[in-house]
Amino acid sequence: MRSVLLGVLLAVGSALAWGVWGYFSARAGHSASALSLWLGVVLVEAVIALPSIAFLRPYMGPLAIAAGVAGVAGYLLYFLALRAAPLGTAAPIVAVTAVYPVVTLVLGLVIDRVSPSPRQIVGMVLAMVAVLLIAI
């Protein structure tokens, strides 16, 4: 059974986890190379994910593979961005990466011809303003 409340609660948990991840990534980014951080994250994810294969039949179609490649590229670029920035300046970098829903909406518009709602358009604009305010 699907539940909006459960979805929102899980999303809040996800946001908290991503926030903690951003903080610790930034701290680690100044004592290790971006490539070694990227490899560490991917290996930890593999160790956690591989046992689930015994219980699940993962879907490995072209869209899932494309999502995986994009995710891995995102991690690597994120760690390179953290490495390039001075220590203590992770907030703007994390803020910029947090606007990925804008990319998702634009891809939906371009590829699937799905028009964003007026509320989504306002959300995209506000997200971009928020990033500018955090980054300045």
Q: Residue with structure tokens 């956690």?
A: 48
For residue 94, being part of any structural domain is answered with no
Full-model pTM: 0.73
For the record, the structure tokens of 81 come out as: 């961005």
pLDDT band of residue 96 (cuts 50, 70, 90) is confident
Above pLDDT 90, what percent of the chain? 7
Residues 38, 70 share a domain? yes
Answer yes or no: do 57 and 123 share one domain: no
Which pLDDT score, from 0 to 100, does residue 19 have?
Answer: 82
pLDDT at res. 1: 60
Domain match, 78 and 106 both: no
Provide the number of structural domains found in the chain: 2
Can you give the residue range of the structural domain that contains 127? 99-136
100: which 2 tokens?
Answer: 């990925």
* pLDDT attached to residue 81: 87
- pLDDT for the residue 133: 87
pLDDT tens per residue across span 26-58: 888 878 888 898 898 889 988 988 888 778 877
Q: Answer yes or no: do 9 and 64 share one domain.
A: yes
Asked if 38 and 75 touch (Cβ cutoff 8 Å), the reply is: yes
